[in-house]
Each structure stands twice: as C-alpha cells, then as structure tokens.
Amino acid sequence: MTGETEETIFTWGAPPLKFGAGAADEIGFDLRQYDVHRVLVVTDPGVAATGIPQRVSENLKRFGIAAELYDRAHVEPTDESLVQAADAAADRGPWDGFVAVGGGSAIDTAKAVNLLTSRPGRLMDHVNKPVGAALPPDGPLAPLVAVPTTAGTGSESTAMCILDVLSMKVKTGISHWRLRPAMAVVDPLLTLGLPPEVTAAAGMDVVCHALESYTARSYTDFPRKQPEQRVTYCGSNPVSDLWCEKALALIAGSLRRAVHDGSTDLQARSDMMLAATFAGMGFGNAGVHLPHANAYPVAGMVTDHFPPGYPSDEPMVPHGQAVSLTAPEAFRFTYPAAPDRHLRAAELLAPGHGSTDDAERLPAALTALMRDIGMPNGIGAVGFGEGDVPQLVEGTMKQQRLLATSPREVDEESAARVLTGSISIW
C-alpha cells in the first residue's frame, strides 16, 4: 500500500458509564435528565425469572417514571423476534425512553425496538449490506439505558445489534452510532446469582472480544476512506488497544474466581463486569474476527448439545462457548501476522507463564483457562466431527464483514484447518 492510500484516521465512541454496586437503583434519576416519563423495560424470560427487571421497574417509579415490562426478548434475536418486539412495543407505546436489562439478546432487542419505534422505516432497511439496505436512522432515537446482567456481551457499550435473518439463514447486524445506549449502567451486584456455567461462557466471550480486537488488523492497514465510508468497526487502534489490554489484565485476575466463587466474591464479579464493559469499549470500535466468524455456524448448526446452567428446551451452544471453542486454533493461525500482539495478549492473560514456543503462548494461555473454568473440549464436545467441517466452513466464509478484520487472510482451506484443529483442543 502506498502512503497516499493508507488510512490515517480512526474513530471511537462509548456511552457514558455509571459503574458500581447499587448503580442499577439510580436509573430513574438518570433517565429524568433526559426528560423521560414513560419507559419500556426490555428483557428476556430467563432474566425476568430473576426478578431483576421488575426491581429496576419499581425503582423507576420512585423517580416518577411510568415503566412497563416486555419480557419476551428472544435469546439470540432473529428478524422475526425483533419485529415482534417492536410491534408489541408500538402497540403499547408511545415510549420516550427504554431500559434494557439482560445479556446481549435483551440489549440488542431494545436497540432494535428503539430504532423501529423512534423512526420510520423497517428492520431490513437498516440491516447491514448485502442482507439489508444499511440505511442510517434518519434522526435521533429515544434514550436507551443498558443494564447488563452478565459479564459477557459488552453490548451496553456498542453501537451494534446482532440478529439472525431466518429466511436467509445468516447472522448479521445493524450497525450505527445512533444505536449506542445513552448510558451503560453496570452493577456487579446483578451478577452474583449467575450459575458457574453461565459465568464461564460469558467470561469467554469477554476474553474473545478483547483478544480478537487486540489482534485485529490495524486501522492503518485499510485503504483510505472517505468520511461517508467510515464504519463502526475500524480495526485495532490506540484507543481500543488500551481497553482490551486492561480487560485482559482484569480477566487474568478474576475469571477463575468469578466462576468458582461467584456467589460470594464480589471483587471478582466487579472486575469481570469492568472487563466486559472495557472489552465492549474496545471491540465495539475495533471489531472481532475469526473466532466470532466461526461461532455463528457452530451455534447455528447445533443439534444435540444441552449445556448445564442453560434452558433445556432446545439444543444450544452458548455464544461464549461458541466463540471460544475455535479460539486457540484461530490464534495459532493468526500468530504469524502479528506475533508481538499475540505475545503481549498472552502475557496479559497468563502473566509469567512462558511457553518454550512463542507461537504457542496464546493458545496455551487460552487452553489452560478454558480447562480451569470447564469449557467443552472443542467443537467435538458440542457435537461436531470432521464430516461437519465443510458446512461449518461455508458458514464461516459468510462472515466476510468479520473476516475482513482478521490480521491474516482467511480462505476456505485455512478456515477448514482451524475448524478441524478445534474438534478437540487438549
């Protein structure tokens, strides 16, 4: 690339943050700053069963805000579930604000509901190309306060809404800065009751957010863009780097403790909540790559995995499991493209645990962590064999938007090698 065509500019954005034990009790005050009086609280059935969204709603009333609950957000949102949620919201509206309480599914559903009830237009108008028309919202949305109940997704920080478009069997998203929550309220007390299996899987999502965006292709390695061509995911950059580095350091000190002593170790829960939010502040601007691209077909093609700690009514690979199961092999593949970054990430994730082979340090750090917190041993452990690899590769290669951020070019052959090498990890 010549000097004239190299990119010199990066962009970065994050919501205002209120963090700490008890932060979720103040949301009514924060929403009143935006002159909000009637709020829809969006959550999913599992989170609703904890009573947390109801407590948040009650607290809103203390500040003179009328609040109603929508508790049918679909885990892993689809185009149908988002339209259904938006229609239900419109029927009971109008709303001048939204609160999302839950994991990525609830928060992403609230983002879509906010978009579709605040502005004219239909869902597919806004979905990323080539699936949708990628039209920007034509003006401001209502204020959305995002309240994560897991230390995982980081969706409270990002300007993305991820969905499955059922008719096309593809995972894609809506991506625009106006989707970013008006505020992220991150209260570690909300996570004390999470089962160890959920803590572990969500934690591995944080690990992969931080590792993938830290090793993502640099923003300077993309061709120079015109202002109207700039995208939310601009590649790794000095700002996303600092969030990811700190997230990895927090994970190193707290993920094992949060999994094994999560009902009492508030410090570990607090550090993991910070790590999840920090990783969101990073990857939400830099982007993720191969492990996330692999996760979509792995989660989408599951037929008979019923993980403990999750609802047992349908087979599933939790997102945090799906992203991590191919991560050690993926980072083995991307290592030659950015050895220094892989080494630094390994040092942050497993300080002082040197391996004799530099290329193995990050896969080794990841594998040790995954074993310690009870992750399945590869995609074989969630039901996939060598015969499934070609179809998985097809799904991975559909994620061109993510693969574009990989530091090393991914073709069908290399994707197949990574997936085959991930059938069993240790």
CB-nearer residue toward its own copies: 78 or 267 = 267
Q: Where do contacts with its own copies occur on this chain (CB under 8 A)?
A: 7-14, 16-23, 26, 29-30, 33, 35, 136, 139, 177, 227-228, 237-239, 242-243, 246, 274, 278
CB of 110 to its own copies, least distance (A): 20
Q: Cα separation of 216 and 362, whole Å?
A: 15
Q: Cα separation of 23 and 11, whole Å?
A: 29
CB of 422 to its own copies, least distance (A): 32
Which residues make Cβ contacts (< 8 Å) with residue 207, sequence separation at least 6? 248, 251, 255, 324, 327, 349, 366, 369
CB-nearer residue toward its own copies: 10 or 98 = 10
CB of 66 to its own copies, least distance (A): 19
CB-nearer residue toward its own copies: 64 or 387 = 64
CB of 389 to its own copies, least distance (A): 40
SS3 65: coil
Residue 291 CA from chain centroid, whole number: 12
Q: Assess contact for 203 and 148: CB atoms under 8 A.
A: no
Q: Assess contact for 303 and 271: CB atoms under 8 A.
A: no
CB-nearer residue toward its own copies: 35 or 91 = 35
CB-nearer residue toward its own copies: 22 or 308 = 22
Cα distances (angstroms) measured from residue 268 to each of 162, 199, 275: 28, 11, 10
CB of 155 to its own copies, least distance (A): 18
CB of 228 to its own copies, least distance (A): 6
Q: Establish whether the linkage from the previous residue to 137 is cis, with ω within 30° of 0.
A: no
CB of 59 to its own copies, least distance (A): 11
CB-nearer residue toward its own copies: 215 or 237 = 237
Could you tell me the maximum CA-CA distance found in the chain, to the nearest angstrom?
62
3-class secondary structure for 304-317?
A: CCCCCCCCCCCCCC
Q: Cα separation of 183 and 237, whole Å?
A: 23
CB-nearer residue toward its own copies: 11 or 84 = 11
